[in-house]
C-alpha cells in the first residue's frame, strides 16, 4: 500500500478488469492517456516500467497497469 493523498480524496487508481501484464507490454498506469511505459519485468505485484518519453525507470503496481494497443501508443488525442 502506497501512502498518498489519493487516500484523503478517495481516489482509486486500480483498474476495474483483470489484465495479465507481462514484460514487453506497453502500459499506462492510470485511467488517462499518457504517460506511457514499457514493462521491463514483472515480479509479484510490482512491475519494472520505463517511461517511453523520458527513459526513466520506476516500479509500479501491476494492478494499476493498463495495456495500450500499439497503434494508439502515439495518438495524442
41 binds another protein (CB under 8 A): no
Q: Give 6 or 20: the residue with its C-beta nearer to another protein.
A: 6
Q: Give 5 or 20: the residue with its C-beta nearer to another protein.
A: 5
Q: Which of 21, 25, 42, 60 contacts another protein by CB under 8 A?
A: 60
Q: Which of 22, 40, 45, 53 contacts another protein by CB under 8 A?
A: 53
DSSP-assigned letters across all residues of the chain: ----TTTTTT-----SS-----TT-EEESSSSS---EEEEEEETTEEEEEETTT--EEEEEGGG-EE--GGGTT---
The contacts of residue 19 (CB under 8 Å, 6+ apart) are: 65, 66, 67
Binding site for another protein (CB under 8 A): 2, 4-6, 8-9, 11, 13, 29-35, 37, 49, 51, 53-54, 58-61, 64, 76-77
Amino acid at each position: 500500500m502506497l501512502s498518498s493523498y489519493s487516500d484523503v480524496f478517495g481516489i482509486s487508481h486500480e483498474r476495474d478488469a483483470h489484465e495479465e501484464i507481462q514484460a514487453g507490454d506497453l502500459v499506462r498506469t492510470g485511467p488517462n492517456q499518457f504517460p506511457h511505459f514499457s514493462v521491463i519485468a514483472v515480479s509479484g505485484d510490482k512491475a519494472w516500467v520505463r517511461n517511453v518519453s523520458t527513459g526513466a525507470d520506476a516500479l509500479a503496481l501491476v494492478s494499476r497497469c493498463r495495456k495500450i494497443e500499439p497503434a494508439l501508443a502515439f495518438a495524442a488525442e
